[in-house]
Structure 1
Amino acid sequence: MGVTQPRRTGFLLTLLRRGAPAMATATSDLDDGIADPTPMSALRRMRGMAGPVDPSVQDNLLLRATRYVAMVPLLYRIVAVLGALGEFLAQSGGAGAPAVVVVAVLCVALNLFGLRWLLRTAPFHSDNVARLLLLDVVFTLVAYLVVAASVPASSFTSAMQVPGKELLGGIALLTLALGVQYGVGLLVVSLPLRMVAWWLSSGVFNVKQGFVDLGTMLGVALTATGALVLLGLGTRLALAYGIRNGRLAERARQHRALHDSVLQTLEILALPRKGDPADQLDELRGIARAQALEVRQMIEQAERESAEEAARPLGEKLTALAAEMAREGLRAQLVMAELDEETLDEVRQLAIRDAAREAMRNTLKHAGTDQVVVRVDEREGGIAVVIRDHGTGFDETHRPAGFGISESITARLAEAGGRARVESSPGSGTRVTLWMPR
């Protein structure tokens, strides 16, 4: 049976199809040649940056960082809508002003909520993002029609600038957050929307009105697409540059170690010597013995560090796990009872640590919260680790897809002689109890 190879696709195409979140795949299949300082044509370097990636790769740090791209269109809409409102009030003489003001206030409020949502610390879920973006689009279209129905034809042009700025920002937002096809889709929808808006205001269905701001909307879509491409390719170039420099630094460290030890000894051995050959042989043996001792010490130190890492007590393993999860966006509060560190062997400690990692990742993916409490104490003649969150929870009879309990959590503990229990209900969070006998 053959091994299924991961599907590869071009990074640039992935970026255009999926928007800024596709930058989370930028670390896969990076070629050192991308960051090669040797002068080359810009097109060749860009082809390297746009090369194949594995779409299944998701770097959590990059994925969290891409959220901030959406701040630009949100800030634009706040400023542009307020500016358009001021211009409308100055020109309209009050005709239709209440409806336009209400729509402008709601636009600003919605965008401020979006900014606050982006800056929160809780983990992001694609379903929530899709719902919020759908709400944003629906509100924008409805606001456009409400303003059109509330103002006379004489004030139509200046009044429609208020929801129009919201619409322009929406095209940029969808392009950056979901992909070019979504931004273009909203642009296409806006053409008949403009015609309907003119009909609501004047009673005349004017086809030409649909294309009045087409150039501006195309410009926004192209600008957002260009920004997406430059940001994605620049991110991948920066990652390739950092990885290449890291490898060079590690190689330089190894070269220094060889130069200061083995190479120096070999050069000393190669120097011509005068005197009794027996004395020379004794001297060479002494140098070789000293060098062998130094190399042995280096090897033993590396082995000791590896052994110390494996032999760390359970508390330190869980502390390191909490730090690891913090880098992925989950804040874990660790509460440790006084334990006898000799109560569990290494295999059982690793089983608990790995099961706890999976439970915490489930919290990050499914619970809708970025906080979890991990308690460790002695119970029933063994060690219990309880991972508790106050997130959304779930109905245990309809467990979420991808909630790795049977294989990732229960099976790990069962193999080492332990057991796991998961308790949850909608709105009450989730408690995962890991227990391992002594």
Structure 2
Amino acid sequence: MSPPRAASYLGTLLRRGAPAMAGVTGGLDDLEVADPAPAAPLRRMRRIAGPVEPAAPDNLLLRATRYVAMVPLAYRILAVTGALVAFLADGHGGVAPVVAVAACLIAWNVFGLTWLFRSAPFHDRAAGRLLVLDVLATIAANLVVGAAVPQPAFAAAMQVPGKHLLGAVALLTLALGAGYGLALMLLGVPLAGLAWLLNTGVFNVKQAVAGLPTMIGVLVTATGALILLGLGTRLALAYGIRHGREAERARQHRMLHDTVLQTLETIALPGTGSSEHQLSEIRRLARAQAIEVRQAIEGADGSGALGEKLAALAAEMARDGLRAQLVMAELDADTLSEVRQIAIRDAAREALRNTLKHSGTDRVVVRAEDRDGGVAVIIRDHGTGFDAADRPPGFGISQSITARLAEAGGQAQVESSPGGGTRVTLWMPR
């Protein structure tokens, strides 16, 4: 027995409407949707619209998809108001029922917008009930106008509930799928005929189908908007997953470079003293490294102010033999967010370890100060230095320092010259 065929994302979107976008994240990483290689537009669209493995709906996406209803609701408020103004301007009779119907429809749509913007959790059943009530209100508005408006003014008066019907076709298409919008469009034909029957006593077939081309246009437009919105959302999700994984890999690489790799390199350096002393040092480094890796895994990055983080970092480097003189300006605890403080601390750690390994000196000055609307941390040593033109930045500078700060919105600058030492400036905006 062959395995069941995966559902098409495009088919699922057309059958279920915008809420289908909340359940298509499963298996998205296995597709070539976000392949950065150049591809023909139609080929890429086929990839996006291709098979998908529906997952449990994502609650955040599900809440976001409800906002597609804003467009048809806002359209109906404007269109019904415009139709009412045009009807009143023509000086027709039967004003009272038309005004009453228009006022009720406008109030109903305003309520719909208010419901969309409420902070309460989204519930499918509540949304389904409101859509049923919306269809019933649309039907009732057409029938009331047909029964209550004088015959000479009937054709002009029908523009008011007619605009609401057009918006309802678009609303159902976006919220539930193209099938529901098609069903309401077809229902609009006998509904218009019934309104004419109530007003004139004759079921006017010609007038019943007169509005069909306009409703078809609305249905096609809403379906096209649904497709474009769905495909664009899926492409954005695919790119987000791809870039998120790349960022996570880069973060893991930096963590390994800044922790395990640094410790292994320190252990590999020629030792001094007796074998027992060297073994004790290795054990100390191993214990310290185990604590640091565990903190990285568990996300225990510390929550003190920037000054406290830099002081702890200076103490950490002192255990490895680098004496860091810390010079701090008056910085408030809330000067930088926690994420940016951690980015500066980790970038500073990499700069200090570079000093320890490559500068040929065991002294360094770390200064923190206000600068250009942000906070700058300057690491300065008077070691051997290097020529930036002859030595391109390695992983530690490009990833552990520059990229780490860039992710948090900051900048890093490395200045050095042979025999003149090195200055690393880390800057982060407030």
Listed as ranges, the matches of 1:11-410 within 5 Å are: 11-31=9-29, 33-91=32-90, 93-256=91-254, 297-304=288-295
* 1:424 corresponds to: none
> Please, which moves more after superposition, 129-138 or 259-268?
259-268
1:212, CA displacement in angstroms? Answer: 0.9
Q: Is the 8 A contact 2:24 2:55 kept in 1?
A: no
Q: Is the 8 A contact 1:29 1:52 kept in 2?
A: no
1:265, CA displacement in angstroms? Answer: 9.9
1:263, CA displacement in angstroms? Answer: 7.8
* 2:377 corresponds to: none
Aligned length, in residue pairs: 296
Give the secondary structure class of the aligned counterpart of 1:35: coil
CA distance in 1, matches of 2:61, 2:280: 50
CA distance in 2, matches of 1:201, 1:103: 16
Give the secondary structure class of the aligned counterpart of 2:217: helix
Q: Is the 8 A contact 2:26 2:55 kept in 1?
A: no
CA distance in 1, matches of 2:137, 2:95: 19
Change (3 A) 1:291 1:106: farther
Change (3 A) 1:174 1:307: closer
**Which is bigger in relative contact order (C-alpha 8 A, separation at least 6)?**
1
RMSD after superposition: 3.4
1:118, CA displacement in angstroms? Answer: 1.2
Among all aligned residue pairs of Structure 1 and Structure 2, give the percentage whose two residues are the same amino acid: 58
1:30, CA displacement in angstroms? Answer: 0.6
CA distance in 1, matches of 2:289, 2:230: 42
For structure 2, list consecutive stretches of 5 or more residues without a partner in the other structure. Answer: 301-430
TM, length-normalised to structure 2: 0.61
> Please, which moves more after superposition, 168-177 or 146-155?
146-155
Q: Is the 8 A contact 1:26 1:53 kept in 2?
A: yes
Change (3 A) 1:146 1:288: farther
CA distance in 1, matches of 2:102, 2:164: 9
Give the secondary structure class of the aligned counterpart of 1:33: coil
* 2:369 corresponds to: none
1:37, CA displacement in angstroms? Answer: 1.9
Change (3 A) 1:308 1:229: closer
TM, length-normalised to structure 1: 0.60
CA distance in 1, matches of 2:286, 2:92: 87
Change (3 A) 1:269 1:115: closer
1:295, CA displacement in angstroms? Answer: 7.4
Deviations 1:324-378 (A, max 9, x none): xxxxxxxxxxxxxxxxxxxxxxxxxxxxxxxxxxxxxxxxxxxxxxxxxxxxxxx
